[in-house]
Every structure is written in C-alpha cells, then in structure tokens.
Structure 1
Amino acid sequence: MVELTETGIEGLDSILNGGLVSESTVLISGNPGTGKTILGIEYLYRGVTEFDETGVYLTFEEDASDIREAAESIGFDDWGDLVESGDITVYGKELLLREEDFSSTLDELLAELGRTDHDRLVVDSLTMLSLFFDTEREQRTYLLKFSDILKRNGLTSLFISEQGSRFPDAEVGLENFLTDGNVYLIQTPTDSGVNRYVWVAKMRKRPIETDIFPMEIGSGGIDVHDRASGFSLMGDEDVL
C-alpha cells in the first residue's frame, strides 16, 4: 500500500486519486499568473490546519512578507500566526541569497532541513534555482542530492517551475525527469478575463486522472472542478 499525503486543495486530491505519494517530489509548472505560488501556499496551509503537518516554504524570488501578503489575499489571515508559531517556516530571498557562494547556502539549508522535523516543503522556484549552476551536469547533481535528502527526511515536496510556452507539452526540461510527478497549471485568455486549468501529467506509483480540469482561485484558495467534464490535451489545443 502506497502512503499518500493529501494536499487538502479542493478537487485536486480527487484527480490525484487520494493525494501525492508521501516523500515524493512533484513539479508544479505553469506560466506566470497561473497560481503556482498560491498552490504552494495552500499546500502548506492545509497541511497545518487540516492534517497537523508542518511545512517549509523556500522562495528565491520574494521576501517572507510577500508570501504572507499572498496568503492573506486568499483569506489565510492566520498565516502570520502559523509562521510565528513555527508550524510554517519561510526562507525568503533575503536569507537564501545572502551568501555569494550559493552552494554553501544550499548545503547549509539541507543541513538545517535534516535537523528539523517537517512534513511538507515548497521550493519557489526551481527555475530561479537553476540559474545558480554553470552546467546541466552540476544542476542535475544538486537536484538529485536535494531530492534525495528531502525524501530521507520524510518531506513531501513541491518544486515550482516557470513554464515558458503556452502548452505544457511544448517543452520538457531536466527537472521533469528528476521529479516523481508533474502537474501543470494552464491559463487561457477570454473576453472576460482568463480561464484556469490543472493537468496532472505524471505521478509515479499512482493511477491518476490525466484529463485537464477547470480550476478557480478565490477567497479560500484553489478549487479544482473535478466533477467537470475533463478533456485531453492531446489533439485538443484548439480548445485552449
């Protein structure tokens, strides 16, 4: 029996057939504005408030105050209290980028994660993290090391990545092969705004719903319409 970690996000656990595989690393990809950071925030928030699981948020692009404002913007007004109590730990760019030698910062961070007892982790973003490596080989080495240490310490982790193209299958990066699952967030313009969708493309060890499902972001977080009529990405680009 595979142990699962429920995300707590409305509708997402349904299409994941119960949740994420515990102690796995899952890539969350999408264009800017698709809701990747919100998904990461809600994943940690639901972990604490619904499952008594503590979490860590690593952001290389924003300060801890930015993450708090994003959480409060969707109704998680007690985010600051959870950070203050230690249930959620946020490492902002002011901490992660304080060293000139980034490898030293990463080693220090990995050592800290090994000393503490957390259940969930979000890395925002893997795209920014990759800029600190000179070669693909060096990037691969550190990502594998990073993933292995996270798993050994019992963390179920989300790696956020910027998707450069509109359609998820248009580009496949190194990180897609080094993670246990791939989830894409998609948004398409309409006359009245944008439509958002979620597509779980891969999840090792689990049967999943691989169609694309509508999702909304509002007060209270993300709502995936798992009972809507999903459609396949293959051959349906005209729908998007």
Structure 2
Amino acid sequence: MIELTETGIDGLDAILNGGIVKDSTTLVSGNPGAGKSILGLQYIYNGVDMFDEKGIYLSFEENQQDLREAAEAIGLEQWSEYVERGDILVYDKKELLSKNDFSSSLDMLLEDFTDSDYERLVLDSLAMFNLFFDDERERRTYLLKFSDILKENGLTTLMTNEQGAAIPQSDIGLENYLTDGNIYLLQTPTDSGVKRYVWVSKMRKQNIETDIFPMEITDSGITVHENASEFSMMNHGDSPIQ
C-alpha cells in the first residue's frame, strides 16, 4: 500500500487522492507570482502544525526575514516559533549561495538530511540552484544525486521552478522528467483580475485527478476548489510528461 504525505492545503489533497507519495520529489512549476513559494511555505508549516512532521526549507531567493514575513502574511503565525525550536529548519540565500560549488553546500546540509526527525523538504527554487552548474550534463548529474539523497533519507520533497510558457507542454524541462510528480500553478489575466488554476499532470505510483481546478490565494494561503474548471489549455489525455 502506497504511503502518502498530506499537504494540509485546502482542496489540494483531495485532487491528489490523499496527498503526495511519501519519500518522492514533486516539481511545482508556475509563472512568477503564481503561488509556488506560498505552496512551499504552507507545505512545511502544515507538516509541523497539523501532522507533527518537521521540515527543512531551502531558499535560494529569500533571506530569513523575508520568509518569516511571507509566512505571517498568509496566516502562518507560529512560523517563527517553529523555526526557533527547530521544528522548521531554514537555510536562506545567504547561507546557500555562500559556497562556491554545490558539493560544498551539500556537505553543509547532509547532517540535517540524515536526521530522521525531518520528513519534509522544500527547495525554492531550481532556477537559482542551477547557477551552481556550468553545463546541462553537470546539472542533471547533481539533480539526480540530490534527489536520490533526499529519498534515501526519507524526505518528501517539493521543488519549485519557473514556468516561462503559458501552456506547460511547450516549456518542458529536464526537471519534469526527473521528478516523481509535476504540479503546475497557472494564472490567466482577465478584466476583473487574475484567475488561478492548479493542474496535477503526473504523480508516479498514484491515481490523481488530472483536470484543471480553480484555486485562489488569500491572506489564509492557497485554497483549491474541487469542482473542475471549464478552462482548458491542454489535452489532459495526451500529456507528454511521464
């Protein structure tokens, strides 16, 4: 029987049919402002707050204060408390980018990765992670190595990635194939504002709802609405991402 890790995000676990496969790596892609970091913050916070699962947050883009303010802005009021008592470990851009190569950064993190107390991890984002590498082959090698290390140490991981194209299938990167799951956060401008959607295109070992579902971001974070949207920008039955 497949063991699942619940995200605790309203509506998301329902369309995942229970949650994310334990010890897997899932890529969360979207345009700037789509809600990728918010989803990551909620995933780590909910792990502690709802499920007694400690988490590690790796941010290549924000500092500790920025992350705390972002968390508190969406109602994650005990973020600082959880960080202070070690239930959430945060490595910010100052720490992660201070090393000249990824091997040095990985050595810094390995002790925490092998600590069996931690079960969740967020890497935000792959765009900055990629700055460590000079070529595609090196990037692919280290991404595979990194993913394997996370799985071997029982970490259920979300990695965020910038999605440049409005239609995901026209902008598929190597990361989409190397990860166990793909979640897309989509947004379309309208006369009255921005409409947001979530599409779970792939989850290995798991039956999922592959329709596109409306979502919203409020001062309480992300909510996914379980009635499938009439909006459609891709052929769900012919996804090239496997």
TM-score between both structures, scaled by the size of structure 2: 0.93
Shift of 1:77: 1.5
| Paired residue type of 2:150 | L
107-116 vs 135-144, which moves further: 107-116
2:192 aligns to what? Answer: 192
Instruction: Provide the C-alpha distance between the structure 2 equivalents of 1:11 and 1:230, rounded to a whole number of angstroms.
Output: 17
Shift of 1:101: 3.1
Instruction: Provide the C-alpha distance between the structure 1 equivalents of 2:113 and 2:230, rounded to a whole number of angstroms.
Output: 38
| Paired residue type of 2:95 | L
Shift of 1:124: 0.2
Shift of 1:233: 3.5
Instruction: Provide the C-alpha distance between the structure 2 equivalents of 1:99 and 1:182, rounded to a whole number of angstroms.
Output: 29
| CA separation of 1:48 and 1:112: change in aligned 2, threshold 3 A | closer
Q: Report how many aligned residue pairs link the two structures.
A: 236
1:119 aligns to what? Answer: 119
Shift of 1:128: 1.1
| Paired residue type of 1:97 | L
| CA separation of 1:175 and 1:96: change in aligned 2, threshold 3 A | same
2:77 aligns to what? Answer: 77
Deviations 1:136-156 (A, max 9, x none): 111111111111111111100
2:90 aligns to what? Answer: 90
Deviations 1:14-73 (A, max 9, x none): 100110000000000000000000000000111111100000100011101111111011
Which residues in structure 2 correspond to 1:22-171 (within 5 Å)?
22-115=22-115, 117-171=117-171
Q: Helix, strand or coil: the match of 2:150?
A: helix
Q: Helix, strand or coil: the match of 1:40?
A: helix
Which residues in structure 2 correspond to 1:170-209 (within 5 Å)?
170-209=170-209
Where structure 1 has 5 or more consecutive residues not aligned to the other structure, the ranges are none
Shift of 1:232: 4.4
Contact 2:183–2:200 (Cα < 8 Å) also in 1: yes
Contact 1:110–1:146 (Cα < 8 Å) also in 2: no
Q: Helix, strand or coil: the match of 2:114?
A: helix
| Paired residue type of 1:143 | L
| Paired residue type of 1:200 | V
Instruction: Provide the C-alpha distance between the structure 2 equivalents of 1:174 and 1:106, rounded to a whole number of angstroms.
Output: 21
What RMSD over aligned residues (CA atoms) do the two structures have, in Å? 1.5
Deviations 1:73-106 (A, max 9, x none): 1111111111111111110011111122343112
Instruction: Provide the C-alpha distance between the structure 2 equivalents of 1:155 and 1:115, rounded to a whole number of angstroms.
Output: 10
Contact 2:212–2:228 (Cα < 8 Å) also in 1: no
Contact 1:121–1:155 (Cα < 8 Å) also in 2: yes
| Paired residue type of 2:110 | L
Shift of 1:163: 0.5
Contact 1:122–1:158 (Cα < 8 Å) also in 2: yes
137-146 vs 223-232, which moves further: 223-232
Among all aligned residue pairs of Structure 1 and Structure 2, give the percentage whose two residues are the same amino acid. Answer: 65
| Paired residue type of 1:16 | L
| Paired residue type of 2:225 | H
Instruction: Provide the C-alpha distance between the structure 1 equivalents of 2:181 and 2:220, rounded to a whole number of angstroms.
Output: 25
Q: Helix, strand or coil: the match of 1:89?
A: strand
Q: Helix, strand or coil: the match of 2:169?
A: helix
Shift of 1:193: 1.4
Q: Helix, strand or coil: the match of 1:69?
A: helix
Instruction: Provide the C-alpha distance between the structure 2 equivalents of 1:65 and 1:172, rounded to a whole number of angstroms.
Output: 33
2:240 aligns to what? Answer: none
Shift of 1:107: 3.0
TM-score between both structures, scaled by the size of structure 1: 0.94
Q: Helix, strand or coil: the match of 1:76?
A: coil
